[in-house]
Amino acid sequence: MGREFLDVFEEWASSYDEAVTGHDPQYRDVFERYDTILGEVAQLAEGSVLEFGVGTGNLTEKIIEKGQHVIGIEPSEPMRELAEKKIPNLPLFEGDFLSFPTLDEPIHSIVSTYAFHHLTKEEKQQAIANFYSLLEEGGKVIFADTVYENEQAEQQIKQEAKEKGYLDLLEDLNREYYPQLQEIRQLFTESGFHFEATQRNKFVWILVAEKQ
Ligand SMILES: C[S@@+](CC[C@H](N)C(=O)[O-])C[C@H]1O[C@@H](n2cnc3c(N)ncnc32)[C@H](O)[C@@H]1O
């Protein structure tokens, strides 16, 4: 569920690693400091890690380099093939934020970068409730994704995209479900998490939610 944007990734998979290095001017600001952002998420992950929306495996690689065990979930077959090439022994399953194989080991961290915005508000709410059940006490959700600081920031970002003629970016911002900070904070705190967020570039924030 929440897979309505999957077609984009079936097409985007082969050139995705170029996009994250700033080759596409429309997405340059979105992916600004991409490597550092993923590195920060990896540093915060502890214990057994469950990763959603693995893509080509860039975050996964960083967590494994730290010596940790990662289980990956990714709905797109072309993306899974690329991740499997990069990390041959990764336990990687077909699934999404809401529907994935039953896990038979405790999970201490749930991570994801540039993916949670594919879910509607209701789907995010359901996913967050599932994360709470899945995590051990003190376990954390650590996400990096586009979040608008407030309504004014949302309008300003969309206006700038329009003025620059970044129409693909603008369409993406209007089509997907990028939340405002207050909304995502409320979704996590209402499910029993302590929530903190820090901005890392014009678009992307690191969200850390700890199970209380
Ligand atoms: C922009 S890419 C991010 C990939 C990688 N996490 C990164 O940071 O480079 C978004 C990924 O989310 C996946 N995705 C799309 N819908 C999803 C869903 N409902 N649940 C989990 N992953 C999803 C896509 O297939 C794609 O691999």
Mutate to test the pocket of ligand 1, among 34, 112, 114 (most ligand atoms within 8 A of CB): 114
User: Do 46 and 142 contact (CB within 8 A), yes or no?
Assistant: no
Establish if 206 belongs to a structural domain: yes
Establish if 185 belongs to a structural domain: yes
Q: Which atom of ligand 1 is nearest to the CA of 53?
A: 22
Q: Please indicate if the annotation marks 17 as binding a ligand.
A: no
Determine the structural domain holding residue 204 and report its residue range: 6-146+177-211
What's the pLDDT score for residue 1?
Answer: 66
Say how many domains are in the chain.
Answer: 1
Pocket around ligand 1 at a 6 A CB cut-off: 2-3, 5-6, 9, 20, 52-55, 58-59, 74-76, 79, 96-97, 113-115, 118
197 CA distance to ligand 1 middle (Å):
20
Q: Please indicate if the annotation marks 104 as binding a ligand.
A: no
Establish if 64 belongs to a structural domain: yes
Establish how many alpha carbons lie within 13 A of residue 188's alpha carbon, considering only the half-sphere containing its beta carbon. Answer: 22
Residue ranges of the chain whose pLDDT lies below 70: 1
What's the pLDDT score for residue 81?
Answer: 96
Establish if 158 belongs to a structural domain: no
CB 65: neighbour CB atoms within 10 A? 10
Q: In the 3-class helix/strand/coil scheme, how is the chain assigned residue by residue?
A: CCCCCHHHHHHHHHHHHHHCCCCCHHHCCCCCCHHHHHHHHHHHCCCCEEEECCCCCHHHHHHHHCCCCEEEECCCHHHHHHHHHHCCCCCEECCCCCCCCCCCCCEEEEEEECCHHHCCHHHHHHHHHHHHHHEEEEEEEEEEEECECCHHHHHHHHHHHHHCCCHHHHHHHHHCCCCEHHHHHHHHHHCCEEEEEEECCCCEEEEEEEEC
CATH code of the domain containing 52: 3.40.50.150
Establish if 121 belongs to a structural domain: yes
Place of tokens 């039953």: 102
Q: Give ∠ CA 165-205-170 in degrees, rounded to 5.
A: 20
ipTM: 0.99
Establish if 94 belongs to a structural domain: yes
Pairing relationship of beta strands 204-211 and 49-52 according to DSSP bridges:
unpaired
Distance (Å, rounded) from C-alpha 197 to C-alpha 65? 25
Q: Which atom of ligand 1 is nearest to the CA of 118?
A: 16
